[in-house]
Amino acid sequence: MDKQSLAQLIEISCAVGVRPEYVQAGGGNTSIKSADGKSMAIKSSGVPLSAMSASTGWVEVNVPAVLSIFDRTDLATLETDAREAQVLQHFYAAVTGGSGRPSVETALHAILGKVVIHTHSVAANAVNCGPGVKALEEITRPGEAPPLWIPYTDPGWKLALTIKSASEDYRRTHGSMPTVIFMGNHGLLVAAEEASACLSLHEEWANRCEGYFRPGMAPVRTPPELDSATLRKAMVAVRRGWREAKGTVPFARMTRNGDLATIACDERANLLAAGSLTPDHIVYTGAHAVLAESIDELPGKIKTALAEKAPPRLAVVREVGSILFADDAKKLEAAEALAVAAGEITHRAAARGGAHNLSPASADFIINWEAEHYRSALLGKSTEALAGKVALVTGAASGLGLGIAQGLVEAGAAVAFCDVDDAGAKDAATKSAAVIRTFPVHMDVTNEDSVAAAFNQVVRHWGGVDIVVCAAGIAPAYELVDTPLHLWKLALDINLTGYFLVAREAARIMRAQGDGGAMILLSSKSGLEASRNNSAYNATKAGELHLMRGWALELGGDGIRVNAVAPGNVFEGSKIWNPEYIKSAAKKKGIKPEEVIPYYINLTALKRDIKRSDVAAAVVFLCSDAARCITGHTLVVDGGQVMVR
């Protein structure tokens, strides 16, 4: 495949792949053929369109070799699984370049135009799952060749045969192959001779579908805003049902999407409880939604549903809201993307008679189809030490808080980066190596309402809290006689009251969840051995250690472990070790400012500069199962500076 054609393939793939109204959870497909039509590059199976590049995410196939599959009479005699395995083997044999698994749609793309785009456009699927042919008749302009309508057909080999036959009939009737194909309960296909024309054609028909529904769409009626108690009760109920069925806890999310939340208030809840709309919905949100009349019956409903072969990942609670759940943060994002699309599809279709879901037989095909199991498996599941855990870190925009938050993400946890510095928290979270497991949250640890609101955001976003690290702090360095009262009080507010408010909220949630938990208080070597000219810091860091010990005794019966980490001097990225603080330290020690950091490093037995990652590693250990019998302990990470405990 020539570089220009590949560049066009990547261009159209990224153009539609980044738009959630067209593509959800990596669905959809694209392809482009060589000038002579003998070679075709097509997106590899399971690869998100937006992740394709010139070097990965596509396979090149020999088109005549692919098309020869239509001459194979043996396929019609095989059982479904054997037939689809033979089809895949045939496609593999036709591969001439690229990487990955050939798409199940390879033969389908081979029979269409030079450039092909297949998406699961929300507006187009409102047609496909709703009025169908009637809508297409209304949005086709006079004198224009109409789109080809394909009633729902099981994807894979059967769909390719159906479209081939229907396209040949279309050509006999209209004199050319179809350039626009609507597939019942599936998606939209467009084909053109140029990449830009194909993009324009796709946009044109998606917009026509949107315009068809817009005039009759009812306003969104969202459930009333949930109070803290109701929100937490609902998310605990999801955890309980999952735990009783699987012995673990899920990630869960109370959606804020208007269309999806509204389902809890109308008859569409019954539609989704009866079945899913498209193959992708079955793969990512299950064969149907859980429908509960109240929060109290939610755990039992979820427990029962999780025993099914294609278990739900969406629960609708009447007049409360819609909740997504999954065993992995990445799968939760995929489930929400598809569930949101379902809400939007049904909202539009309601304006033109309503939507209909897949038949039980069609759903059963998808549930048992190896190709869809393959796609789902590509999402994977984290296997790191803290995989499946939800963590909240205060002071996470900078300094040790940032280092600890990053370390928890690297250990597999989903981490809320909490700070009063909203821009800093957002920047830190978005720069993480696993952005899908980060969440910036505003929190003022000195404000009771702000702390509660931040915890509610995390509970709503991920379903609960398993790990809490109190790392927000200040260190006003003054001689006793010069210490300003307002800074003394501020240190008490942040370093003690802040720890108390955060720990209290965490304990309330963890106790209600019934899953135990881990709390870490970030103290300091100054909490063990006082330093000069540091009254507020000494007092608060020592106080944190005693709070930790008392809370460890108090919460141990709930399986909640409370420990502390006491770092030595960590200079990397520190707001405490700012130029003014270094000048103060230099004056205190009678040395030059540039000599301060080497001086403190040389105080340690190891003569080693302590990094944020060293402190983060200690926190990760204390939060992991490796420390399951450790509570009320202070782990000192100071290079051997303080030897008296």
Token pair in block for residue 410? 């690297």
Q: Are 185 and 149 in contact (CB under 8 A)?
A: no
According to DSSP, the residues that pair with 566 across neighbouring strands are: 636
For the chain, percent helix, then strand, then coil, each to nearest 5?
Answer: 50, 15, 35
Cα-Cα-Cα-Cα dihedral of 98, 100, 101, 106, to 10°? -30
Token pair in block for residue 485? 């009262």
490: amino acid identity, one letter: L
Token pair in block for residue 169? 């009939």
According to DSSP, the residues that pair with 642 across neighbouring strands are: none
Within 10 angstroms of residue 4's Cβ, the number of other Cβ atoms is: 11
Q: Are 638 and 566 in contact (CB under 8 A)?
A: yes
For 160, how many CA atoms within 13 A lie in the half-sphere containing its CB? 20
Q: Are 237 and 298 in contact (CB under 8 A)?
A: yes
The one catalytic residue among 537, 581, 599, 600: 537
Helices (H), 471-521: 485-492, 498-513
Span between the terminal Cα atoms of the chain, in Å: 68
Does the annotation count 581 as an active-site position? no
The CA–CA distances, whole Å, from 219 to 205, 211, 259, 348 equal 24, 16, 10, 11
CA distance 2 to 39: 10
- Give the burial class of 35: count Cβ atoms within 10 A of its Cβ; 0-12 exposed, 13-18 middle, 19 or more buried: exposed
According to DSSP, the residues that pair with 119 across neighbouring strands are: 188
Active site positions, annotated: 537
